[in-house]
Chain A
Amino acid sequence: MARSVVPVNGTLRWPGTIAVGLALVFLFGPLIAVLWRAEGLASLSRADLSAVWFTIWQAAVSAVVSIGLAIPVARALARRQFRGRQVLVTLLGAPFLLPVIVAILGLLAVFGRAGIVNSFLGALGLPDVSIYGAHGVIIAHVFFNLPLAVRLILQGWVAIPSERFRLAAGLNAPIWRVLERPMLASVVPGTFVVIFLICLTSFAVALTLGGGPRATTIELAIYQAFRLSFDLAGAATLTLVQIAICAVVALLAFAITALDAMGRGLDRVVARWDGSVWGDFAWITAAALFLLLPLVMVILRGLPSILELPSSVWVAALRSVMIAMVSAGLTVALALALALRGGWLVVVVGTLPLAFSGLVLGAGLFLIVFPFVNPSNVALPVTALVNSLMALPFVMRALVPSVAQVEAQYGQLADGLGLRGWARLRIVLLPRLRRPLGFSAGVAAALSMGDLGVITLFATGDRATLPLEMYRLMGAYQMQAAASSALVLLGLSLGLFWICDRGWRIDADA
């Protein structure tokens, strides 16, 4: 009576299976709806092909540069302790949470023709530097994604047990070769995939800072197909191209990834006996300046008239906060269910949303919903759900390794005590996962705050979200009020993130 050696697993799996199904339905359902309506696929034009190449190129370079810069910054943050370090780590995450247009205007206030850098150069009698062009696209994408890269790589660093650093220091062994390079080999490929995919669907940033149509991405081509010629087949085909690129890159990265070993929070400073203090602080200062200066400009622009904002902005802000909280709750529930389930389908669901065009997703959902209800009436729940799906890839990267770590540490103890299913979730997992769950809720809430997403197709006049209200103000020439709304948006996004990330940690032991 031979039996295979199966590890015993007492965690809940069926909610994860439901979550996988839900995510797949909400991703592929709309795509199928669009394809159905389009009655097939379209062939790609030459312009489409050059958009495909430009998209892949800029996404790859953006990801490589982001990671290249993130490594020294993360190392510096991992081994230096200073006052305000924790606040800095939180603030450094801000660009990632900004709505695109706010970030662009913030960046231009620093690097634009009339920005700080050029004013400074002008005062010194030096020639202007232009941010527009391929390098502008890269700079902007690094601005958005450096925080994410730093955070993911920092997690890898603090996950190296400090005894190993002591051991290496005691043996005078090269830390880079014995500890850091293997850690990076396990963390970098996954980080690359996430950033590559974020840049893959970039559109406004690439076009605006790319300086013109040579910076046409696939997402812009989708936009063109949808708006200029209502070519649904073309839009769906280009979405499939995005998904295919996503699949290839993800497979390549997972193939070369060593063990994925992330874990603990970021509070821990690793005691080290190497590296230059000044070098580390130079990296930290440079990153802080690069990431925070545009934010400071956003704040300065918005501050003067923030008290004169029309009440509708505050109502929209409240509505956005509510959507963000629903979306955060939903994201955490979905992500936890997925993380408990595990398996390759979960990896797919945790990666794929990044490859989906928001426009096609919105159009497809619209096609599905329209025969049954007035799309305006379900705009807010649909927005919350889509925001959740879009946050999954980021949240899963924090949650999956944490669940694995808890299971590795306390799984057998729980098994031995017969703690399975809901009891295990309630007594063991939820309390042990407070930190990553709080972080996840914070990321999901903040991403949801800044997202215009599907609501543009679904929205009605009297139920606007804050980003939409900000766009309306801009459309009505009220740029000053829009700048103040952007500041409110920034404050609320960061605030929600901070409350979730910190609040859930209160009285979390060990």
Chain B
Amino acid sequence: MFKTHLMSAAGLCLCATGALAQVPVLTIYTYDSFASEWGPGPAIEAAFEAECGCDLQFIGNGDGAALLARVMLEGPRTDADIVLGLDTSLIARARQLDIFADHGVSAAFDLPVAWDDPQFLPYDWGYFAFVSTADVEAPTSIAQLADSDLKIVIQDPRSSTPGLGLLMWVQAAYPDDSAAIWEALADNIVTVTPGWSEAYGMFLEGEADAVLSYTTSPAYHIFAEDDQSKVAWAFEEGHYTQIEVAAKLADTDQPELADQFMQFITSDAFQSAIPRTNWMYPAITPQGGLPAEFQGLARPQTALLFPPDEAAAVLDGALEEWRAALSQ
């Protein structure tokens, strides 16, 4: 009996090992939702394979932080040729690994901030924002939100990208009294969830007036559900920005293919796949413009963003402030 089960486990192993491919394989590590059926992965894979004569494989790993953790676990021996899906808060740590090469791509990015990083190539971006429903009276700043009775759900900065984004947002918008802001926000926060999905699900179930997400989130509801009632609050102090980037491994065994893909990132085929699958702004607006549901979205006046090194420097202090304020 024992033996049979071991054998069936071994059988699973064998089945899982695919046949060796004849065409060159370009391996891209990304986060799970990028690679999934509903993410940009499938469309981009098809478009790139049509022109490269290669097999493009997206390997999905949790979220951006999990992706970086996997790259760090694998170290220089990694099988990845390209890592796609790190964001501005992870770049400083990724750069320290010293395993990425210059991308050599130049393009006119439609980013809210200037970008000239030689290794990390942006492919999409978005603003963090609180998403609510139209019938709720919208506050106009974090401070006003903190003074109100509105209830919000946020994510934990220790386990979630948007959670970390809010931490940085408060630091960037209120550098001198971030601690006071967190203390004032404490009674607005219904709860803190480990990830975005839990928080967003709780908001949709009516557990809070608003949830920390992106300015682009309402676009999904307009497009997929014909639901105009979801809105993102525009705050006058500006919104913290998330820029998602890709980078090429220095010792990839497919340097030409990797270069070809890095160039492909700036192409219309790649960029036009982003809005309706990743629900973010493309780094370069595609020729056909943005989809209709993106037109009416809140567009913040000010884009806030710490340079990678500065973000790393303020992290520990900000986290302690957050913990202390919310642990009262």
Contacts and interface: CB of A to CB of B under 8 A. Distances in A.
| A and B in contact, CB less than 8 Å | yes
Interface of A: 15, 37, 47, 101, 104-105, 108-109, 112-114, 132, 203-204, 207-214, 216, 220, 223-224, 226-228, 230, 310, 312, 322, 326, 329-330, 332-334, 337, 363, 366-367, 370-371, 374, 376-381, 384-385, 456-457, 459-461, 463-464, 468, 471-479, 482
A9 B103 CA distance: 69
Most chain B beta-carbon neighbours within 10 Å: one of A203, A371, A377, A381: A381
Nearest to A473: B38
Nearest to B219: A477
Interface stretch (B1-9, B173-181, B288-296): B1-9
Given A15-B2, A105-B202, A381 B220 contact: no
Interface residues of A, dominant DSSP = helix
A17 to B, nearest CB: 13
A468 B31 CA distance: 13
Nearest to B60: A461
Given A227-B66, A381-B13, A479-B201, A337 B2 contact: yes
29 contacts: A37-B73, A47-B320, A101-B197, A105-B201, A109-B205, A132-B190, A207-B192, A207-B193, A208-B192, A208-B193, A209-B191, A211-B192, A212-B191, A213-B326, A213-B327, A223-B194, A224-B159, A230-B93, A326-B8, A329-B5, A329-B8, A370-B73, A456-B61, A459-B60, A461-B41, A472-B37, A474-B197, A477-B224, A478-B38
Given A37-B73, A214-B328, 12 more contacts: A112-B205, A208-B191, A212-B186, A213-B323, A220-B159, A227-B65, A326-B8, A332-B1, A363-B69, A366-B70, A381-B12, A456-B66
A228 B37 contact: no
Contacts of B186: 212
B36 A208 contact: no
B9 A384 contact: yes
A105 B205 contact: yes
Contacts of A322: 12
A461 B58 contact: yes
Nearest to A136: B191
A144 to B, nearest CB: 16
A471 B197 contact: yes
A476 B36 contact: yes
A228 B32 contact: no
Contacts of A378: 13, 16
B112 to A, nearest CB: 23
B239 interface: no
A475 B32 contact: yes
Nearest to B30: A461
A29 to B, nearest CB: 15
Interface in B1-53: 1-2, 4-6, 8-10, 12-13, 16-18, 32-33, 35-39, 41
B68 interface: yes
Given A333-B1, A457-B70, A461-B58, A223 B158 contact: yes
Contacts of A112: 202, 205-207
A213 B194 contact: no
A377 B16 contact: yes
B39 A476 contact: yes
A128 to B, nearest CB: 11
B151 interface: yes
B316 to A, nearest CB: 9
Contact of B202 (A108, A333, A366, A463): A108
B205 A114 contact: yes
A273 B65 CA distance: 61
Contacts of B123: none
B158 A228 contact: yes
A338 to B, nearest CB: 11
A337 B3 CA distance: 12
A210 B189 CA distance: 12
Given A105-B201, A230-B68, A330-B5, A472 B194 contact: no
A203 B198 CA distance: 13
B170 to A, nearest CB: 15
B261 interface: no
B197 A113 contact: no
Contact of B38 (A208, A384, A457, A476): A476
Contacts of B164: 228
A215 to B, nearest CB: 8
